[in-house]
Amino acid sequence: MLDSSPLFPARDPDAQGWLYRDHGHRVYWEVSGPPHGIPVVVFHGGPGSGASRAHGRFFDPDRFQVVLFDQRGCGRSLPLGGLAANTTAHLVADAEALRHHLRLGPWWVMGGSWGAALALAYAATHRASCRGLLLRGVFLTGHRDLDWFFHGAGTLLPEAHAAFLAPVPRTRRRNPLAWYAKVFAGDDAPAADRAVARWRAWEGAMQAPSHPPPAMEVDPVQSAVLRAKYRIQSAYLQRRCFLGEAAVLDCAARIHGLPTTLLHGRLDLICRPINAWRVHRTLHGSQLAWVDDAGHDPFSPAMAQAMVAATEAIARATGP
């Protein structure tokens, strides 16, 4: 490992490609690590964020074969921002199709935030395909999570919340999600870019309250990616990610006995710690570890250290 970080060194993929799916979707994937390593698939967050090679740094490159993929419409998958045939059920089916495409047996499933909810949905649907789960910062997708994100967290961060609501007409502020979703789905790119900047600043304030917000100006390529990200995110959130809290907890209840580790930052303002507690109490046999001095950022020192420790425990339990 690197001397200055708990993370393993970054590495380029050993293989990459496209998974061709229905309605013209092309799902981008890449794999790194030894062919006979412990297989693990990473479900990225968002919805809409896209995969990051940095997530592969939680895993020993000599022990794990790490599979990353961009969910439909996200990152390098095409069509960028595409919402047709883009639901949680489609994403679950894509992941299983990718496992078959790569000719892998049962794999470990890692997911953070929205990715944790998707991981639970996948495991409940394809339990036999899973060796176990590693979940960070669980998002339950329900009304309570959404009310907290769009309203409740404003009691802790009033200035940032006021800036987030500022462009929303006063008559629409009871449901700012609907207003933002309409802007992201429209054809006015400059208006969507301004909405992206506000949404990103609000997320940044919740993730790192003591840090300055993200830059308002971005290059044209990044701008198109961000518009697609928030178009998908707002569309999913309007539909409670096609799940909802009761459904996510039911998925957890259906995988009793499947090794599951939950990590949650005690200072997480985006996905409240009570979410991990609910999943832990529902999924008998799961292990819950609170991470002090950590919020929602998976790469903060405390959380990164906890994530690496969890993957090393998986490697030890799996054996040579």
pLDDT in tens, 198-231: 999 999 999 987 776 666 566 777 899 999 999 9
* pLDDT band at residue 295 under the 50/70/90 scheme: very high
The pLDDT of residue 28 is 98
Residue 2 pLDDT > 50: no
User: Which of 219, 241, 263 is the endpoint of a domain?
Assistant: 241
Mean model confidence pLDDT for the chain = 95
161 is catalytic: no
Within-domain flag for 6: no
Say whether 211 sits in a helix, a strand or coil.
coil
Per annotation, catalytic residue among 90, 161, 280, 296 = 296
- Number of domains the chain is built from: 2
* 65 touches 38 (CB < 8 A): yes
Is the confidence at residue 3, as pLDDT, over 60? no
Q: What is the pLDDT of residues 70-87, one digit of tens each?
A: 999 999 999 999 999 999
Q: Is 296 a catalytic residue?
A: yes
Q: Given 60, 70, 193, 268, which residue is catalytic? A: 268
Pairing mode of beta strands 260-265, 287-291: parallel
Q: Which of 225, 241, 257 is the last residue of a domain?
A: 241
- Predicted pLDDT at 5: 78
What residue type is assigned to position 116 of the chain?
A
Look at residue 8 and tell me if it is in a domain: no
* Mean predicted confidence (pLDDT) in 79-97: 97
151 versus 10: which is more confidently predicted? Answer: 151
- Residue 9, domain member (yes or no): no
- Does the pLDDT value for residue 1 go beyond 60? no
**Does residue 143 have an active-site annotation?**
no
Note whether 197 and 123 are same-domain residues: no
Q: Which of 207, 241, 275 is the last residue of a domain?
A: 241
Q: Does residue 2 lie in a domain region?
A: no
